[in-house]
Structure 1
Amino acid sequence: MRRLTIGARDGSSRELVLRSFVDVAEADDWLRREAEALRVLAETGVQAPELVAVDAGAEECEYPSLLMTHLPGRTILHDEGVETRIPLLAKQLVAIHAVRPAEQPRGFVALSTAETAVVPRGADWSAAIDMIRKPRPSYDGCFLHRDFQPGNVLFDGGRISGVVDWAGTAWGPAELDVSHCSTNLALLHGPEWGLRFAEAYEQAGGVLSPNRQYWFVRDALAASEELEVVSQPWREAGRTELTTQVVEERLDTYISALVGGPDLGRRR
């Protein structure tokens, strides 16, 4: 990812972002999905980068790349103000799920299984693992971001100025996005904040199915497979207290709460 300043002959300049996909095996799929998502979002009220150009065949760039506008704002990962950001995140996600493209993106893919969960020493996740061994619940599909979480949302002052990284867009249950953001909030800010996000989503007008628990438990278990990958950027951004052990303990507490809370997200 590179930020570019493009100068014009009249002395004006434009801030752009060049995103290159270096994983050759996945590059074509990711690039085309992000490019199509940005085209779709340009016709909506969702704040996302504007697509400028696509080099799918790496004819001008070293790798398949797309050029897009640079959005103002920054990601916010610290704890201060999380209670005010969660309603904004929820409202933004409801708006994303309301997008209805002329052509549906491909269906979601969930690679994690009951067998791939990485259970911490001393933790008892048997009930959670048994839950996702059950048949996948039926669902009403919607437009998904697939990696909606604080690291992909830009804030400018007290508002969301944009959502980035649309390479994973898919069609599937809203619970996939809501649970993914909830898991990230639980690890980043504490389990209680992950649990609050589902309620905030419903308060913002989003709809979660009675089978929500399955999807939330599934996403939390999937996070166990990549805790280091998830938490390392947070530490690099200044959250040095979020060691692998701390994040692992938060995930254990969060999963225990999910298993014990079938009414997740509903007001009590």
Structure 2
Amino acid sequence: MVLGPALPERALAWAQQNLAQQIVEVGPIGGGLTRTKWLLRLADGARVVVRWCDPTDWGDTGREHVRRETLACQLLAGSGLPVPRLIAADLDATLTGGPANLVTWLPGAVRLDRLRPAAVGGLAGLALAVHRQPVADERRPPVFSYRGPAEPEVPGWTSRPALWERAIDLRAAGAPSTPFGLIHRDFHFGNILWERGSVSGVVDWAETSWGPADLDVAHLCSDVAMLHATADADAVREAYLRRGGRLEPAEFRYWQVSDILGFLPDPGHILPAVAPARPDLTAASIRRGLEDLLAATLG
């Protein structure tokens, strides 16, 4: 058996107790920033995923990640959406030494290439389906949190400081009264799996929140703008509207600006995660893509 780095035997034993088949191989799942997930291959060839958060490294944040992902799997069970199925969870870490959950593995691969209109439409429709999921009041996840610095500052790398000053002032003016619902809260290309041109999975529900659907759309638009261009971000927003989504222009402007500010002080931090698939990207191109989106958003 090949053990994944830092996955303790307690967590592995707990996972085995919740599986009918023997675990024959364990390996870390890369591609993200948290490094808290491992892929377990079973004797019959099936695969499952365990998230385990070292309490020393992650503390309350790790517990919240596991709790929110567990809740999302429960809320979306039976929805027909391509999301992981929850197998087991140890939220209080009594059995695993750190908060953990065990979920089904979903097939597919991450895509960072430019999407065709049909794929954009399918992705927009999937986002809308998540946002329309009914959630009982007592089952709501926590309200979203703003990302980035509490008091954002004009980034030192920009040649358009006035643009960022406008953005900072807009967010400081306060949020509009946009309706809240279930959101993924980290809806970007790295958490979307594809097979044969269609979405086969939406994963990593660790930041599941109660908030405006605009935030999921805005986060995806930011990602697309950094990977490609503002026009591609516009196509995502327009596809969501065509599918029946609600994005009031003035309200969406606020949420898009808020999401962009969440990447400060430097959006270049996403480069290590995307560089293997997109060696053409640089910190400068990522900054330029985000700043161009900000300019278009503020008009």
TM-score, normalization by structure 1: 0.88
Letter in 2 for 1:254: L
CA shift for structure 1 position 215:
0.8
Which of the residues 241, 247, 265 maps onto 1:202? 241
Give the distance between the partners of 1:58 and 1:140, measured in 2 at CA: 35
Query: Structure 1 residues 158 and 245, CA, compared in 2 at 3 Å: closer, same or farther?
Result: same
Letter in 2 for 1:19: R
User: 8 Å contact 1:114–1:133 — kept in the other structure?
Assistant: no
2:258 maps to 1:218: yes
Query: Structure 1 residues 94 and 82, CA, compared in 2 at 3 Å: closer, same or farther?
Result: same
* Structural RMSD (CA): 1.8
Query: Structure 1 residues 130 and 57, CA, compared in 2 at 3 Å: closer, same or farther?
Result: closer
CA shift for structure 1 position 13:
4.1
Instruction: Name whichever of 179-188 and 115-124 sits farther off.
Output: 115-124
Query: Structure 1 residues 226 and 168, CA, compared in 2 at 3 Å: closer, same or farther?
Result: farther
Matches within 5 A, 1:52-67: 52-67=87-102
- Paired residue for 1:173? 212
2:145 maps to 1:109: yes
Which of the residues 123, 135, 159 maps onto 1:122? 159
2:177 maps to 1:138: yes
Letter in 2 for 1:17: V
Instruction: Name whichever of 104-113 and 32-41 sits farther off.
Output: 104-113
Query: Structure 1 residues 198 and 238, CA, compared in 2 at 3 Å: closer, same or farther?
Result: same
2:127 maps to 1:93: yes
Which of the residues 222, 233, 251 maps onto 2:273? 233
Runs of 4+, deviation exceeding 6 Å: none
Matches within 5 A, 1:175-190: 175-190=214-229
Instruction: Name whichever of 122-131 and 137-146 sits farther off.
Output: 122-131
Q: Residue 224 of structure 1: SS of its match in structure 2?
A: coil
Unaligned runs of 5+ in 1: 261-268
CA shift for structure 1 position 117:
4.1
Q: Residue 19 of structure 1: SS of its match in structure 2?
A: strand
Letter in 2 for 1:18: V
Matches within 5 A, 1:33-44: 33-44=68-79
TM-score, normalization by structure 2: 0.80
2:49 maps to 1:17: yes
Give the distance between the partners of 2:53 and 2:265, measured in 1 at CA: 23
Give the distance between the partners of 1:245 and 1:113, measured in 2 at CA: 21
* CA-to-aligned-CA distance 1:75-132 (integer Å, 9 cap, x gap): 11123x4444321211110011011122211111114468324523322322222211
* CA-to-aligned-CA distance 1:43-81 (integer Å, 9 cap, x gap): 2122101111112233443532111111011111123x4
CA shift for structure 1 position 224:
3.0
Letter in 2 for 1:85: A
User: 8 Å contact 1:140–1:173 — kept in the other structure?
Assistant: yes
Give the distance between the partners of 2:253 and 2:293, measured in 1 at CA: 12
Give the distance between the partners of 1:51 and 1:148, measured in 2 at CA: 20
Count of equivalent residues: 254
